[in-house]
Amino acid sequence: MAVAALLTAAAGANPAAASSCADRDEAAALHVRSLQTWMVVASLTCGSVDAYNEFVLKFRPALQRHGDALIGYFQRTYGGQGTSKLNRYVTLLANQASALSLKDRGSYCARTAEMYDEMQDGVSLTQLESYSAENVGLLAVEPKSCMSENLVVSLK
């Protein structure tokens, strides 16, 4: 898996950084949170609240598991500042998704509708993390995650 290889290479290149690098589950959580944030913004921007609710109901166990991994990553990486750093990161994701939607609302909403259809019919709970990485990537890179800026999404 490309993300795992990237994380392994980053950890090997700088052993001191390895303790704050996101592990495979944490990297997946960063991707899933980007997808979830994309969908939250789309629910408001594109009027897709019902589709968002269906997304949450279908993927609730995976969203909760990845949410826990994300909390764990921020606590491990930032200690007592973990909660505030996580809140700032989630806000950054929302701001990035909003900026993408404002840049080209039509394309953002059309792509979101396609993703809802794809996820409803062809994505299982166990496939959500790979779907997130392949279709949204990261809305923003968490600085200590050892993940590349090249993974940040742009509206195509």
pLDDT tens, position by position, 98-132: 999 999 999 999 999 999 999 998 999 889 998 99
pLDDT of residue 153: 53
* Helix and strand element counts for the chain (H, E): 7, 0
CA-closest candidate to residue 19, choices 80, 78, 82:
78
Burial 33-60 (b: 16+ CB within 10 A, else e): bbbbbbbbbbbebbebeebbeebeebbe
Least confident of 5-9, 61-65, 81-85: 5-9
pLDDT score of 154: 52
Q: What is the pTM of this model?
A: 0.81
> Using CB atoms within 10 A of its CB, is residue 132 exposed (0-12), middle (13-18) or buried (19+)?
buried
- Among residues 29, 36, 32, 31, which one has the least CA distance to residue 76? 29
Residue in this structure with the two tokens 């980053």, named with its chain if needed = 10
Burial class (CB in 10 A: 0-12, 13-18, 19+), 103: exposed
What are the tokens at 150? 């090249």
Say which range, 8-17, 20-29, 39-48, 58-67, has the weakest mean pLDDT: 8-17
CA angle, 114 as apex, 109 and 120 as ends, to 5°? 120
